[in-house]
A and B are shown apart, each in its own frame.
Chain A
């Protein structure tokens, strides 16, 4: 009986290890390929699973032959501004829903929730026309504007704000604290974990966003990393320089992987509370 159980356990470990390899392998392959030299990569009919002569020449190529640094910087600017502005908008709205009393609040909140069901694909067509007719193609403003509100994050934060006891608010009112001051001094610090989660999820979303940037930019000077990598694939390096391409892929993937390894618990908890990919 005992023996049978341990055989089952071994099978489970084998199964789990197989999937782990499936997940890890593309990452391993991309790092490995990025440190092989161009000639040794193309000289291998049967690709080698390790290399004894690692080189950084592909990373040099990635930063000198294609505007990877520019793509990287653009994405950084886009991510920081979008996330920061979104946080302000979301926090103000969540505060209004959770703490302030005004006519029509419930109606507006219901309307917000029903808008959550609208898929991006439906509204992106007009947004594209709007941004185009405003002459904001190939500008950061055009990239950022449509993505600075998120009803889901407003909802998440409102729930969190609502948990903060009324007594605190009443005490602050007695002391003559203004609503805004109360929000900044009390509610935001108490809800910090949720705000951090929202920030990280938004950063991931911004860093990986592809569709909107592709529609709204055709000038390479405003490409984000996703479009940049597509451009590199189709026009950069000469099509055959796979190692240099992989070096660019590593550079693009690294920031989020590091972020993930640092905030692993927070990210996973945040995603299971309602993030879906894409």
Chain B
């Protein structure tokens, strides 16, 4: 009996914090999402129903955010995973400078997204004084200058994707490099004895052996990209709706706070829609990986 109490005592701080800041909010978000016309100031509402979902799903800002997020996901997840695989393969085939490259590649992981986003902004943005480095490069190859920060939609989307990939690469390279390093050397030796061509070694040995890690990266990549937000703020500023570059998570926060805020019910409905999308995609991913991955 005394022991029972002691165990709970040690757990108490964790349980209290989780209860207040995770379990209760988790229940509350469902309640918020069905309270119609909730007023933050008076904490009152006048009905229960699905109006909030209806509103959110018709809100042009939300639809724009969904579109932006989907494009971002579809472009960055395959590109970053593929590029990370190429780089990791390159890394694991060299000895000299391997450590140096690995250290450099990891740098974006420890940098502040908001701060380094400013550097990307000045590289891509033409100003009154200069076209900006990227545009000068484009001009050099005979192209016309584009305002990547306040200009056409595809240009802004390009920078956003580029920056997102730059940010997520360290994690993927790290995971794939350690996966490659853990493949049993004996397989390669046998292949060498049999004089197996290198692309066959790759598709028949390497790829199957690291496929669980690739699927892991694809799944976490999808989840991460669906929650994109601070990279967009870093590039386009806090008013993402005006820039037309809002993301789903950005929409949730805008509904909560700031000039457009004060609507926790709409925010909750949007967050639940996002959660439903992510859950569906993760489930599909898991089913596909169960079928194809070699464990």
User: Measuring CB to CB, which residues of chain A are less than 8 angstroms from any residue of chain B?
Assistant: 9, 12-13, 15-16, 19-20, 22-24, 26-27, 29-30, 33, 42-47, 88-90, 92-93, 95-97, 100-103, 105, 108, 112, 115, 118-119, 121-130, 145-146, 148-149, 151, 154, 179, 204, 207-208, 210-211, 214-215, 225-227, 229-230, 233-234, 240, 242, 245-246, 248-249, 252-253, 256-257, 259-261, 264, 267-268, 271-272, 275-278
Contacts and interface: CB of A to CB of B under 8 A. Distances in A.
Interface size classification for chain B = 35 or more
Nearest to B175: A272
Contact of B17 (A89, A122, A211, A253): A89
Contacts of A46: 130, 136
B271 A225 contact: no
Contacts of A125: 25, 28-29, 32, 252, 256, 264, 267-268, 271
Contact of A93 (B4, B13, B115, B169): B13
Interface of B: 3-8, 10-11, 13-15, 17-18, 20-26, 28-29, 32, 40, 83, 86-87, 90-91, 93-94, 97, 101-116, 118-120, 122-123, 127-131, 133, 136, 166-171, 174-175, 178, 220, 223-224, 227, 229-230, 233, 237-238, 249, 252-253, 256-257, 264, 267-268, 271-272, 274-275, 278
A253 to B, nearest CB: 5
A42 B129 contact: yes
Contact of B111 (A44, A227, A256): A256
A130 B133 CA distance: 46
Contacts, number: 258
Given A122-B275, A277-B224, A249 B130 contact: no
18 contacts: A16-B87, A27-B119, A105-B7, A112-B18, A121-B252, A121-B271, A121-B275, A122-B29, A124-B25, A125-B32, A126-B25, A208-B113, A225-B115, A229-B114, A252-B112, A268-B174, A272-B174, A276-B220
A261 B111 CA distance: 12
Nearest to B6: A100
A174 B99 CA distance: 48
A246 B166 contact: no
B118 A245 contact: yes
A157 to B, nearest CB: 11
B229 A126 contact: no
A35 B178 CA distance: 38
Contacts of B168: 277
Contacts of A233: 118, 237
B206 to A, nearest CB: 15
B10 A95 contact: yes
Given A93-B13, A121-B275, A122-B271, A253 B112 contact: yes
A42 B132 CA distance: 11
Contact of A22 (B8, B94, B166): B166
A187 B93 CA distance: 40
Nearest to B239: A234
Contacts of A230: 114, 233, 237-238
A242 B123 CA distance: 11
B93 A12 contact: yes
Contacts of B29: 122-123, 125-126
Contact of A88 (B13, B21, B32): B13
A85 B2 CA distance: 26
Contacts of B169: 23
Given A93-B11, A118-B26, A126-B25, 12 more contacts: A12-B94, A19-B87, A20-B104, A23-B104, A26-B119, A29-B133, A126-B28, A127-B21, A129-B28, A149-B21, A204-B110, A267-B110
